[in-house]
Amino acid sequence: MPPPGGGQGGGGDLFQVLIMITVFMGIFYFIVIRPQHIEQRKHQERINNLQKGDRVVTSGGIHGVVRATKEKTLVLEVAEGVKVTLNRSAVATVLEGSAPKSRPGGDEDEEE
């Protein structure tokens, strides 16, 4: 003999749990994953559009000005007469207002 009320309605609880899991996964996607993908695309676009004269910060924290660009590498001037070649993937940030006509010389005084 089944217990009273225990034999019916058990499948409804499972269905509600599955709906809640699906809702939480959707919320997680729109709050966490999608904005991260959008930011990654924007960052990659900024890296691909680097031009001579842009100011950047590398993943190692080195600030420099782009002096030459190639398909996969950049030449950064990190100090007067000091040039470093690095992969585009090493660029962490493209600084705002980094137009070639902003300052032809060093910009160490401005950033401190």
Residue 6 confidence (pLDDT) above 80:
no
User: Within a domain: residue 40?
Assistant: yes
Burial 67-99 (b: 16+ CB within 10 A, else e): eebeeeebbbeeeeeeeeebebebbeebeeebe
Sheet holding 82-87, edge to edge: 82-87, 73-79, 63-69, 55-58, 91-94
Model pLDDT, residue 72? 92
Taking residues 33-57, what's their average pLDDT?
Answer: 94
Which tokens in the block code for residue 51? 């031009």
**The total number of structural domains that make up the chain:** 2
Q: What is the pLDDT of residues 52-97, one digit of tens each?
A: 999 999 999 999 999 999 999 999 999 999 999 999 999 999 998 6
Any domain includes 55:
yes
Token pair for residue 78? 């990190």
Work out the pLDDT band at 98, boundaries 50, 70, 90: low
If asked whether residues 56 and 23 sit together in one domain, one would say no
53 is written with which tokens? 């004269």
Q: What is the pTM of this model?
A: 0.63
One domain, residues 61 and 94: yes
The answer on 69 and 18 residing in a single domain is no
% pLDDT > 70, the chain: 76
